[in-house]
Amino acid sequence: MSQNGSCWDRRNQPLPTSDGRLDNFSNPSLVSLSDSRKLCTSPKIDHKPENYDDLQLEFSPFLFSSLEQYLPPDMLDAPRDAKVQYMKAILYRYSPESERTRVQRHKEYKQRIILNYPPLHKEIYTIHAENFFTPSFLKAIRDNTEESFRSVIAEPSTGIYTFEMLQPQFCEMLVSEVDHFERWVHETKCRIMRPNTMNHYGAVLDDLGMETMLDKLMNDYIIPLARVFFAGVGGPTLDSHHGFVVEYGIHRDTELGLHVDDSEVTLNICLGKQFTEGQLFFRGVRCDEHVNTQPLSEEIFDYSHVPGRAVLHNGRHRHGARATTSGQRINLILWCRSSSFREMKKYLKDFSSWCGECRRKKKERERLSIAATKQELLKRES
Ligand SMILES: [Zn+2]
């Protein structure tokens, strides 16, 4: 966009992007490229920042208080409103309008639910380990050794771990809670935000007020397993999650095409109810570059869901769901993410420790190099 002065044109004449929205860079009311406002590199430690809690702002009031010490000297004692405008202009450069609007809408949506939705089973909003988990799972987690995990976990195909995890009563309560929520959404004519771009039914449990419970589920019950089984793909450093319920069957989503998850580690637990078919099919782990390459025969694996039973796999493990041909299948999904692993991945090119195609290519390079060395030795001998 910076070739031959076109930068100037784009700034002054908003051009639609391919999806019809206005390009944020070209909207002069949003970000002026000639804006000279900037912060200082070191803070003025003895400056006491103002409190911004009472203002309706698009960014956290705490962020404004924290930034204030970095304002240029002539701004430090300016009126609070002037400082807000100054800092807002800087923050806008880092957060495009569409993203801010999305975040704000989602915040309002969650707030509306928290304030108005009457939970059906309050007891599932905080973890009660004995009521949630099967005794065998709980014992393995409490023993916290690879041996104890292996005693209750099966690995029917490389990198796919399955185990009994949830009590039937908990599964029933969670299913009826989601049912109850969907009825409430319908009755109050509230618009529901679906779990992801591929599922058109189900609900995000974090929005329902289960964020803290799911955080604890990830920290205390999934990270111990991920530390052992997903050590090389961010398992030990999982630090955020997206938790939701998906529904398959007649009048629901029927199947789900091959895809990878937006997660480092995915926990997928069948909650019930009665259903036929609907197997998970796997096609090997791939990095971004190799996501569309052919699977090897040993990477092809089908798994049949059992209520209460969990599957734990790498988020980059390509998978899909076969059609649920009768009944209703409901699954709890927890996408667990590691921000430090994602950051580190940006600087790496070879993922042969987990990507099947990177590994195949590396082996091929090694094979060729050995063959060339042998050829060279033979030549010298003769
Ligand atoms: Zn790869």
Closest CA to 28 of 42, 8, 48: 8
96 Cα–ligand 1 center, Å: 31
What amino acid occupies position 164?
E
pLDDT in tens, 265-319: 999 999 989 898 989 999 999 999 999 999 999 999 999 999 999 999 999 999 9
Distance CA 177, CA 147 (A): 36
53 Cα–ligand 1 center, Å: 47
What amino acid occupies position 323?
A
Note whether residue 169 is domain-resident. yes
Same domain, 134 and 258: yes
**Could you tell me the two tokens for 170?**
């908990």
Q: For the chain, report the end-to-end CA distance as a whole number of angstroms.
A: 60
pLDDT at 10 over 60: no
Per the document, the length of the chain is 382
Q: How many independent structural domains does the chain possess?
A: 2
Note whether residue 36 is domain-resident. yes
pLDDT at 27 over 80: no
265 Cα–ligand 1 center, Å: 17
Closest CA to 132 of 225, 263, 220, 236: 220
Note whether residue 334 is domain-resident. yes
Mean pLDDT of the 252-257 span: 84
Structure-model confidence comparison of residues 243 and 24, the more confident one? 243
Closest CA to 174 of 220, 221, 111, 131: 131
Note whether residue 109 is domain-resident. no
pLDDT at 155 over 70: yes
pLDDT at 36 over 70: yes
pLDDT in tens, 203-228: 999 999 999 999 999 999 999 999 99
237 Cα–ligand 1 center, Å: 22
203-204 and 300-303 as β-strands: parallel, antiparallel, unpaired? unpaired
Same domain, 160 and 303: yes
Same domain, 23 and 84: yes
Note whether residue 354 is domain-resident. no
Structural domain boundaries enclosing 15:
3-102
Note whether residue 116 is domain-resident. no
Residue 208, domain CATH: 2.60.120.620
Note whether residue 146 is domain-resident. yes
According to DSSP, residue 49 is labeled P
Q: Which residues contact 306 (CB under 8 A, 6 or more apart)?
A: 270
Same domain, 140 and 96: no
Contact 249, 326 (CB under 8 A): yes
Same domain, 45 and 187: no
The pTM of the full predicted model, rounded to 2 decimals, is 0.75
pLDDT in tens, 71-118: 999 999 999 989 998 998 888 777 777 778 888 888 888 999 999 999
